[in-house]
Amino acid sequence: MTTLTPGARRILDVASELFYAHGIHAVGVDTIAAESGVTKRTLYDRFGSKDALVAAYLRARDERWRARVTAAVAAEDEPVRRTLAPFVVLEAWVAEATSRGCAFVNAFAELDDPDHPGRAVIDDEKRWLRELFVAELTAATVPDPDGLALQLLLLHEGALVTHAVAAEPGAPAAAATAARRLVTAALS
């Protein structure tokens, strides 16, 4: 993400909190501007549109997520632990948040226009995670890394949704256990 002015950073931070807490459609630019302490004109000058602000919110969240996952993968030497690092990060991520679930899944549910700039960010984030699983499974010499990567992605995403929607705090740990079993079985 490009460097933001202090005013733009404040707008993005406020918008991010509001979009995640209340939903994208429920939060208008008037509210974002007022809570940011800027005029609507400043908001539009910095971001161009609410749609672009939504995409910036999702990109910023994606950058934070990727940084944490990438660091966790890099910290591991053992192939199975590298593959499962996103599950470890997920457990910590949901433990820190007042979780309404996955911001990307929530945004996807609200952004029905496939051409909305936020949709590209959502698609890229999910594709990136699957590709990470494929790369780590390939490095671990797992047969059919593509198929197993899809299964891991399903467990990961399902854990997020189950944690939030079913209020099941153990979902991320259960998904990590299932993922470990799948990877271990594929290697034997």
The CB density around residue 19, as the number of other CB atoms within 10 Å, is 25
Which pLDDT value is given to residue 49? Answer: 96
d(CA 180, CA 183): 5
The residue extents of the domains of the chain are: 1-48, 57-187
Asked whether residue 154 carries a pLDDT value surpassing 90, the answer given is yes
pLDDT in tens, 45-103: 999 999 999 999 999 999 999 999 999 999 999 999 999 999 999 988 888 766 788 89
Whole-prediction pTM: 0.91
pLDDT in tens, 102-144: 899 999 999 999 999 999 999 999 999 999 999 999 999 999 9
Which pLDDT value is given to residue 83? Answer: 96
Fold of 1-48: Arc Repressor Mutant, subunit A (1.10.10)
d(CA 184, CA 8): 46
Which pLDDT value is given to residue 40? Answer: 93
pLDDT band at 7 (very low <50, low <70, confident <90, very high): confident
Q: What is the CATH number of domain 57-187?
A: 1.10.357.10
Which pLDDT value is given to residue 18? Answer: 96
Asked whether residue 1 carries a pLDDT value surpassing 70, the answer given is no
Which pLDDT value is given to residue 107? Answer: 95
Which pLDDT value is given to residue 98? Answer: 62
Which two tokens mark 97?
A: 């948040």
